Amino acid sequence: MSSPLAVMVLGLSYPQLGAAESLGRAVGSLDPGPVRHAMERFVEEVTVLELGAWEELHTRTLDLSPLFVPYVGHVVWGESYRRGAFMSELQREQIDLGADQHGELPDHVIAILEYLKLADHPHSDLMEVLPQAVATMRKELRKAEADNPYRHVLAALAAVIDSYVTEGVRA
């Protein structure tokens, strides 16, 4: 059985040959509920795309001029000293846990998902701002491109973070 956090990492990672099939299998192993439902919808929408079209969608959504900013600290604090301090603290914890940052800054959503998979007691500032940051990311994407398939990944992320923060359920 795949963890919801691991499945979202797959969904947010740059698509490669066979990625849709791997993601579909991982999603299929999730427990029924809002996370699985949202990720199934994402898989449905990206599997109809040719790999090149999915790559372009990913790049347009998350990389060059992203439709939403995938950096939690930037979403909350912008380019400020507070974001820098947050990233420094978070990176120290990610390194201590051996979390894979996938070559990203420590506040990138993928690096944070990898960290959350390993952290028994996640950084308190992160857990305080993460719901707000994900809500902002969802709003930005909805405003920029309401039918973008990545909206489903952000919906799944919001559901996981909500259960993680409010109920203490580790995904």
105-109-111 Cα angle (round to 5): 50
Q: What percent of the residues of the chain are helix, what percent strand, and what percent coil, each to the nearest 5?
A: 70, 0, 30
Total number of domains constituting the chain: 1
CATH number at residue 141: 1.10.3480
Q: Are 87 and 73 in contact (CB under 8 A)?
A: yes
Please write the tens of the pLDDT for every residue from 48-103.
Answer: 999 999 999 999 999 878 899 999 999 999 999 999 999 999 999 999 999 999 99
Please write the tens of the pLDDT for every residue from 133-159.
Answer: 999 999 999 999 999 999 999 999 999
| Average of per-residue pLDDT values in the chain | 93
Report phi then psi at 47, rounded to 5. -70, -20
pLDDT at 109 over 70: yes
Percent of the chain residues past pLDDT 90, beyond the cut: 88
Structure tokens at 94: 């990610």
Task: Identify the domain containing residue 163 by its residue range.
Answer: 4-167
